[in-house]
């Protein structure tokens, strides 16, 4: 059985990521990209589905762990009866290579560690052929299955029933390294890694990146770690920003709400871009805009809500029989069926992010502005089309109020780009439609009798996405309609002091089962409180939300208050970027809506 979700720490090479448990087992690793097939997938089954355990032989050994400063070098300190030693886990950022390093460092006494390696490629559907290719002085194990090859160097491993086991002993001041390297099976094996150089270079890379973060508000440590997580989920070569490092971690334990988040949602990526821009990272805007132009090239009618890391369009959702799911939560899915949905808010998010890019000093080029005009052309043509909403409802399409407000925002940003920015475009049409959409929302998206905005036209329900209306500039935070909406959200959607996305009992999502509070929604409420003078409540909720982060500062998608455990995919980009925005709001920075004036 895998460990609790909050017991996992992230390693990242900015091309892929691994999850390491408190017990020293790497239970999730996909190679060579975030969205590749897994090599280790015990997270979604058990050890037989692939893992790499490294811990002291002493069963009574206890551990603590931390990241080495502002990096993703994980240091796990083990205390045993015979001594103390550390394991330094790192995925080097070292050119095109794909390596994972497990370094054992003796601190005091003598400690024996045991490696247990279970290689299971292609989501545990393939058992690789393995052979020894090293020497007594330089042991190496080569594993090959289909297009994948792995070589493990630095530790002597022997086979027993498809498990490769080895041990190392370190005294104070001694160091041993084990390195796993992936390469295409049709290529020659790479040269051994210079481990000292790779660790030093990687540590310096992360530290230098973190040193550029600009933040003068509260929750400094949480903001820095959250921005580091966003960078860790950004592919170094393509610039694509994945929503999470995992697939199919359950929103409802034992249930079927299990989705693959290892892709680039335009919405999440746009929000991440804005968070990075707000904290000093202007160059990233050029890379993401280039990614966007490549990904959605072609007919604007073919724009998707998500893409693969390099802009791939084909992300068919299917279920894997080879993995039983996290603690039995089935099915395990790869791909995501929401790729075919129409979600009307997405273009608004993209237009807002690109406006923020211009405001940060990145001039438009002929491709980027032409792209935005084409996107607005799609908005105009589909202006009345119902959609699936921000939550990717699998029920019937609706006219969701948040989606309609984001259509307003898309048109508004187009108008401003022409009127204020001097760009060429059909501002008269965009302005007319923008004003019509506002009038429509005022008439159908607001329930005057109840005094609040509604989830979708014709419904009395509220939805946490309504907290985003003032963030888009559609209304003020202290608009009486917004205050009434907040009161209704507090009444209808608060569970154990946290905000649910919506009432699943309404059956609007077309899915069975329930879920736990979605962390981003509660961070949105922090921002709302902070902007309307409810600072004590905002601070108290923020402190509570930050306390849900695990021991190395990571947040998943949701939080189960009753069981005090993380739920959903992890680490979740949306949770971390919502934390950053909430901290900014507490510091007096009003974020996206500040661009209205």
Question: Once rounded to an integer, what is the mean pLDDT over residues 222-239?
Answer: 96
DSSP-based three-state secondary structure for 97:
coil
| Per-residue pLDDT reduced to its tens digit, 251-297 | 989 989 999 999 999 999 899 889 999 999 988 877 888 888 888 87
pLDDT higher at 193 or 515: 193
Asked if residue 223 belongs to a domain, the reply is: no
| Per-residue pLDDT reduced to its tens digit, 520-565 | 999 999 999 999 999 999 999 999 999 999 999 999 999 999 999 9
Do residues 404 and 467 both lie within one domain? yes
Do residues 200 and 258 both lie within one domain? no
Do residues 189 and 257 both lie within one domain? no
What's the confidence (pLDDT) of residue 507? 67
What's the confidence (pLDDT) of residue 526? 98
Q: Indicate the pLDDT class of residue 592, thresholds 50, 70 and 90.
A: low
Asked if residue 374 belongs to a domain, the reply is: yes
Do residues 135 and 197 both lie within one domain? yes
Asked if residue 87 belongs to a domain, the reply is: yes
What's the confidence (pLDDT) of residue 439? 98
Q: Considering only CA atoms, which of 551, 578, 521, 593 is closest in space to residue 227?
A: 578
Do residues 316 and 198 both lie within one domain? no
Question: Once rounded to an integer, what is the mean pLDDT over residues 515-522?
Answer: 95
CATH number at residue 199: 2.70.98.40
**Helical H segments across 382-479, by residue range:** 401-419, 427-444
CB-neighbour burial class of residue 316 (10 A; exposed 0-12, middle 13-18, buried 19+)? exposed
Domain boundary among 147, 179, 207: 207
Whether residue 594 has pLDDT greater than 60? no
What's the confidence (pLDDT) of residue 348? 96
- The total number of structural domains in the chain stands at 2
Q: What is the distance between the alpha carbons of residues 395 and 10, in angstroms, rounded to a whole number?
A: 34
Do residues 250 and 193 both lie within one domain? no
Whether residue 597 has pLDDT greater than 50? no
Contacts of 558 (CB under 8 A, 6+ apart): 251, 515, 516, 517, 518, 519, 566, 567, 568
Contacts of 149 (CB under 8 A, 6+ apart): 142, 143, 182, 183, 184, 185, 187, 189
pLDDT higher at 96 or 326: 326
Do residues 556 and 494 both lie within one domain? yes
Report the percent of the chain where pLDDT is more than 70.
Answer: 98
Q: Backbone dihedral region of 24: left (phi > 0), alpha (psi from -120 to 50 degrees) or beta?
A: left
Domain boundary among 179, 207, 235: 207
Asked if residue 213 belongs to a domain, the reply is: no
Q: Considering only CA atoms, which of 318, 303, 229, 225 is closest in space to residue 266?
A: 303
Provide the whole-model pTM. 0.96
Do residues 141 and 272 both lie within one domain? no
DSSP-based three-state secondary structure for 558:
strand
3-state secondary structure 538-553: HHHHHHHHHHCCCCCC
User: What are 265's strand-pairing partners?
Assistant: 306
Tell me how crowded residue 211 is: count the other CB atoms within 10 A of its CB: 9
Whether residue 247 has pLDDT greater than 80? yes
Do residues 201 and 259 both lie within one domain? no
Whether residue 382 has pLDDT greater than 50? yes
**Helical H segments across 36-164, by residue range:** 121-124
Asked if residue 237 belongs to a domain, the reply is: no
Mean residue pLDDT across the chain: 94
Asked if residue 212 belongs to a domain, the reply is: no
Q: β-strands 318-320, 332-334: how paired? A: antiparallel
Question: Once rounded to an integer, what is the mean pLDDT over residues 477-498?
Answer: 97
Do residues 107 and 158 both lie within one domain? yes
Q: Considering only CA atoms, which of 143, 118, 120 is closest in space to residue 130?
A: 143
Q: How far is CA 236 from CA 12, 34, 39, 269, 322, in A?
A: 11, 11, 21, 14, 30
Q: Indicate the pLDDT class of residue 591, thresholds 50, 70 and 90.
A: low
Cis peptide before 331 (omega within 30 of 0): yes
What's the confidence (pLDDT) of residue 347? 95
Q: β-strands 83-90, 98-118: how paired? A: antiparallel
Whether residue 596 has pLDDT greater than 70? no
| Per-residue pLDDT reduced to its tens digit, 99-152 | 999 999 999 999 999 999 999 999 999 999 999 999 999 999 999 999 999 999
Q: Which long-range contacts (CB under 8 A, 24 or more apart) does 268-271 make?
A: 268/241, 268/243, 268/573, 268/574, 268/577, 269/240, 269/241, 270/349, 270/350, 270/352, 270/353, 271/349, 271/353, 271/574, 271/577
Upper half-sphere CA count for residue 421 (Cβ side, 13 Å) = 24
Q: What is the distance between the alpha carbons of residues 164 and 509, in angstroms, rounded to a whole number?
A: 45
Asked if residue 124 belongs to a domain, the reply is: yes
Whether residue 589 has pLDDT greater than 50? yes
Whether residue 320 has pLDDT greater than 60? yes
Q: Give the range of the structural domain holding residue 74, as residue numbers without chain letter.
A: 5-207
Q: What is the distance between the alpha carbons of residues 410 and 380, in angstroms, rounded to a whole number?
A: 10
Contacts of 476 (CB under 8 A, 6+ apart): 470, 482
Asked if residue 225 belongs to a domain, the reply is: no
Do residues 202 and 253 both lie within one domain? no
Do residues 308 and 188 both lie within one domain? no
List the single range of 72-81, 381-390, 405-414, 587-596 with lowest mean pLDDT: 587-596
What's the confidence (pLDDT) of residue 284? 80
pLDDT higher at 160 or 48: 48
Q: β-strands 140-145, 148-153: how paired? A: antiparallel
């Amino acid at each position: 059985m895998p460990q609790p979700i909050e017991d996992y720490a992230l390693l990242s090479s900015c091309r892929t990521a691994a999850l390491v448990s408190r017990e020293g087992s790497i239970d999730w690793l996909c190679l060579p990209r975030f969205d590749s097939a897994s090599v280790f997938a015990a997270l979604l089954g058990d050890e037989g589905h692939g893992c790499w355990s490294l811990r002291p032989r002493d069963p009574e050994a206890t551990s603590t762990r931390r990241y080495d400063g502002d990096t993703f070098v994980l240091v796990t300190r083990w205390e045993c009866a015979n001594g103390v030693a550390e394991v330094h886990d790192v995925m080097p950022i070292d050119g095109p290579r794909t390596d994972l390093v497990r370094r054992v460092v003796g601190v005091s006494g003598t400690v024996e560690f045991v490696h247990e390696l279970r290689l299971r490629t292609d989501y545990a559907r393939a058992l690789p052929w393995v052979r020894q290719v090293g020497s007594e002085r330089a042991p190496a194990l080569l594993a090959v299955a289909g297009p994948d090859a792995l070589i493990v160097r630095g530790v002597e491993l022997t086979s027993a029933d498809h498990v490769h086991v080895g041990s190392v002993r370190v005294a104070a001041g001694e160091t041993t390294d084990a390195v796993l390297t992936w390469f295409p099976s049709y290529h020659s094996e790479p040269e051994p890694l210079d481990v000292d150089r790779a660790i030093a270079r990687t540590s310096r890379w992360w530290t230098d990146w973190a040193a550029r973060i600009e933040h003068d508000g509260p929750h400094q440590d949480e903001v820095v770690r959250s921005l580091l997580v966003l960078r860790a989920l950004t592919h170094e070569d393509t610039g694509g920003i994945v929503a999470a490092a995992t697939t199919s971690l359950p929103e409802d334990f034992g249930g079927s709400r299990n989705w693959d988040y290892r892709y680039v949602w335009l919405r999440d990526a746009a929000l991440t871009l804005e968070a990075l821009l707000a904290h000093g990272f202007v160059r990233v805007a050029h890379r993401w805009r280039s990614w966007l132009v490549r990904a959605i090239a072609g007919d604007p009618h073919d724009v998707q809500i998500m893409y693969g890391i390099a802009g791939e369009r084909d992300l068919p959702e299917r279920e894997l029989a080879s993995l039983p799911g996290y603690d039995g939560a089935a099915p395990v899915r790869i791909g995501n069926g929401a790729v075919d949905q129409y979600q009307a808010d997405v273009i608004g998010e993209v237009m807002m992010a690109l406006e923020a890019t211009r405001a940060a000093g990145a001039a438009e080029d002929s491709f980027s502005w032409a792209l935005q005009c084409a996107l607005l052309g799609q908005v105009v043509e589909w202006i009345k089309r119902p959609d699936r909403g921000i939550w990717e409802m699998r029920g019937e399409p609706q006219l969701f109020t948040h989606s309609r407000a984001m259509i307003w925002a898309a048109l508004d940003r187009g108008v401003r780009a022409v009127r204020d920015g001097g760009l060429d475009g059909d501002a008269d049409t965009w302005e007319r439609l923008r004003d019509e959409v506002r009038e429509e929302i005022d008439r159908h998206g607001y329930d005057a009798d109840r005094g609040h905005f509604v989830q979708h036209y014709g419904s009395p329900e509220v939805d946490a996405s309504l907290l985003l209306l003032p963030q888009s500039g559609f209304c003020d935070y202290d608009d009486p309609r917004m205050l009434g909406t907040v009161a209704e959200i507090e009444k209808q959607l608060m569970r154990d002091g946290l905000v649910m996305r919506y009432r699943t009992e309404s059956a609007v999502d077309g899915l069975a089962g329930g879920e736990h509070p979605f962390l981003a929604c509660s961070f949105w409420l922090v921002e709302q409180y902070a902007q309307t003078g409810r600072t004590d409540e905002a601070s108290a909720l923020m402190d509570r939300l930050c306390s849900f982060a695990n021991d190395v500062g990571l947040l998943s998608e949701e939080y189960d208050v009753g069981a005090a455990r993380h739920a959903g995919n992890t680490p979740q980009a949306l949770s971390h970027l919502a934390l950053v925005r909430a901290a900014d709001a507490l510091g007096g920075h009003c974020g996206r809506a500040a661009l209205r004036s």
